[in-house]
Amino acid sequence: MSDLNTSSTRRRLRGGTRSTPTPTAPAGPAITFDRVTVTYGRGRGAQDALSDFSLRVAPGETVALLGPSGSGKSTALKALAGFVRPSSGRVRLGDRDVTDLPPAKRGIGVVVQSYALFPHLRVRDNVAFGLRANRVARSEISDRVREALEMVSMSGFADRLPRELSGGQQQRVAIARALAIRPGVLLLDEPLAALDAALRQSMLTELQELRAALPDTAMLYVTHDQTEALALADRVAVMRDARLVDVDTADTLWTRPPSAFTAAFLGGANLLPCTVGRVSGTTALVAVGDRMLDVTAPATRVGAPGWSPGTPAMVCIRPHEISVATTSGRGAICARVTATVWQGSTTRVTLAVDGLPDVLLDADLPGRTDHGVDSIVWVTFPPGAGVLVSTNDVS
Ligand SMILES: Nc1ncnc2c1ncn2[C@@H]1O[C@H](COP(=O)(O)OP(=O)(O)OP(=O)(O)O)[C@@H](O)[C@H]1O
């Protein structure tokens, strides 16, 4: 398949990019959503698909829009690309307000899940399409097409029709088409969703390479797959019900999730109801049922109440942090095994916590474990692996 992972290709990609005249990066954000609302329908049927959405993306930065189906991710992208008109708010590219510009005048590269290649055009003409539409000189078009196809390792396929390509190859051509116009902003809407799992993994690596090869290009990457968001994004914007819930680096959202929704959506964290006890700096002693546990107490949001003793909260604990033993120990929580599913390198064990009706914990234990359904076990996790999360936004 592609050779994008070799160091020689990396050099070639970066070299190829350097030969492209790079415009001076603007001082401000490359992308600005300023309180954007998009409403579909009218009257009683009107629905906000995007509500008061504000986000800035710096030049060269990749931000993933992550959220469940219907949360408004694609609508945000469409508002930026000009495919839908905000009912209020403004969108800017650099210092240009583009809210009222037609899509073709925005100079944005867009890649969608379904490739959207013209079936009757050969690869080279698909890639050249945006350049012709922008009246780029014919002599320059062939150079740009060659460069864009080289960036996605598709140079040998220029004369093929889309139907003569695999899904992954078609998506590479779609990416080349978006890159050919040398956009300062690249929008990718679930670009890997139509590919099978193995291809998705290798394309993900290729997108990482591409991102490194385009150091000045701002990217907005829509996905509902947290693996893609964690692998590609400098920052992740979590969406829910047309609104932005949290935005921060993937590392911060993972290690210190600011909300229960983000904790659960990013990495499928367990959320154990607790009551805050003694707090000392960034650690807290909390009561989970009749057990006292040491957990991390991250700084709370500006304006949000702190972790005062007696406050109800959640302990966020990742499935891979949990250990399960057949004998009790210090700080161990008693639980009953309700299901075990072998997943190859790990076994997912689901546990009903004693004394906390309705609370189920997922634990990913290494290898294949032999805890039978209905057996009684003792659950522990390292001090600090549990992180306090506010209960405010629990659905
Ligand atoms: N053209 C449209 N007309 C009416 N409603 C729409 C239209 N497009 C989207 N919606 C609605 O707007 C909401 C947000 O849709 P959007 O496609 O932005 O979500 P999404 O987060 O990208 O979802 P998915 O991951 O399933 O693509 C959904 O409730 C959807 O049904």
User: Tokens 């969608």 belong to which residue?
Assistant: 112
Determine the distance separating the centroid of ligand 1 and the alpha carbon of 179, expressed in angstroms: 26
In CATH, what number is assigned to the domain containing residue 172? Answer: 3.40.50.300
* CA pair distance 303, 301, nearest whole angstrom: 6
Residues sharing a CB contact under 8 Å with residue 357, sequence separation 6 or more, in sequence order: none
Residue ID of nearest Cα to ligand 1 atom 3: 40
Residue ID of nearest Cα to ligand 1 atom 31: 70
Determine the distance separating the centroid of ligand 1 and the alpha carbon of 121, expressed in angstroms: 30
**CB burial of residue 107 (10 Å; 0-12, 13-18, 19+):** middle
Backbone torsions φ then ψ of 290, nearest 5 degrees: -100, 15
Residue ID of nearest Cα to ligand 1 atom 30: 70
pLDDT at residue number 18: 35
Residue 178 lies in a domain: yes
* 235: containing domain: 7-255
Pocket test for ligand 1, best of 40, 51, 241 (most atoms within 8 A of CB): 40
In a shared domain, residues 217 and 235: yes
Determine the distance separating the centroid of ligand 1 and the alpha carbon of 79, expressed in angstroms: 12
Residue ID of nearest Cα to ligand 1 atom 10: 49
User: Tokens 């930026």 belong to which residue?
Assistant: 80
Residue ID of nearest Cα to ligand 1 atom 1: 40
In a shared domain, residues 85 and 173: yes
Give every strand in the sheet of 333-342, ordered side by side. 323-325, 376-380, 333-342, 346-353, 360-366
In a shared domain, residues 207 and 288: no
pLDDT at residue number 304: 62
Tell me how far CA of residue 360 lies from CA of 319, 351, 353, in angstroms.
11, 5, 6
In a shared domain, residues 194 and 267: no
In a shared domain, residues 124 and 21: yes
In a shared domain, residues 208 and 284: no
- The b-or-e profile of 281-302 (16+ CB within 10 A means b, else e) is eeebebebbebebebbbbeeee
In CATH, what number is assigned to the domain containing residue 323? Answer: 2.40.50.100
pLDDT at residue number 280: 86
Structure tokens at 21: 């005249």
Determine the distance separating the centroid of ligand 1 and the alpha carbon of 261, expressed in angstroms: 20
- Closest ligand 1 atom, residue 71 Cα: 21
In a shared domain, residues 141 and 287: no
Q: Count of CB atoms within 10 A of residue 226's CB?
A: 19
Determine the distance separating the centroid of ligand 1 and the alpha carbon of 48, expressed in angstroms: 10
Last residue in a domain, options 255, 278, 306: 255
Measured from CB, residues less than 6 Å from any atom of ligand 1 are 40-41, 49, 67, 69-75, 224
In a shared domain, residues 333 and 365: yes
In a shared domain, residues 194 and 159: yes
Tell me how far CA of residue 127 lies from CA of 172, 173, 177, 363, in angstroms.
10, 7, 4, 47
Residue pair 248/55 in contact (Cβ under 8 Å)? The answer is no
Last residue in a domain, options 207, 226, 255: 255
ipTM above 0.90, yes or no: yes
In a shared domain, residues 117 and 169: yes
pLDDT at residue number 105: 85
**Residue 30: which of 105, 110, 96, 101 has the closest Cα?**
96
Domain total in the chain: 2
Amino acid at position 379, single letter:
V
pLDDT at residue number 203: 83
Residue 1 lies in a domain: no
* CA pair distance 272, 331, nearest whole angstrom: 14
Determine the distance separating the centroid of ligand 1 and the alpha carbon of 257, expressed in angstroms: 26
Task: Give the pTM.
Answer: 0.84
Residue 93 lies in a domain: yes
Determine the distance separating the centroid of ligand 1 and the alpha carbon of 181, expressed in angstroms: 28
Amino acid at position 85, single letter:
R
Residue ID of nearest Cα to ligand 1 atom 25: 69
Q: Count of CB atoms within 10 A of residue 73's CB?
A: 26
Residue 395 lies in a domain: no
Last residue in a domain, options 227, 255, 283: 255
In a shared domain, residues 172 and 46: yes
Residue pair 368/343 in contact (Cβ under 8 Å)? The answer is no
Residue 394 lies in a domain: no
**Sequential pLDDT tens for the chain (395 residues):** 343 333 333 333 333 333 344 455 446 899 999 999 999 988 888 999 999 999 999 999 999 999 999 999 999 999 999 999 999 999 999 999 999 999 888 888 888 887 788 999 999 999 999 888 878 888 889 999 999 998 888 899 999 999 999 888 898 899 899 888 888 899 999 888 877 887 888 888 888 988 888 889 999 999 988 889 999 999 999 999 999 999 999 989 988 898 889 998 887 889 999 999 988 888 899 998 888 888 988 876 655 667 888 889 999 999 999 999 999 888 788 999 999 999 899 999 999 998 888 889 999 999 998 889 999 999 999 878 899 998 866 44
Determine the distance separating the centroid of ligand 1 and the alpha carbon of 320, expressed in angstroms: 33
Residue 2 lies in a domain: no
Determine the distance separating the centroid of ligand 1 and the alpha carbon of 49, expressed in angstroms: 6
In a shared domain, residues 171 and 267: no
- Closest ligand 1 atom, residue 224 Cα: 25
- Closest ligand 1 atom, residue 222 Cα: 22
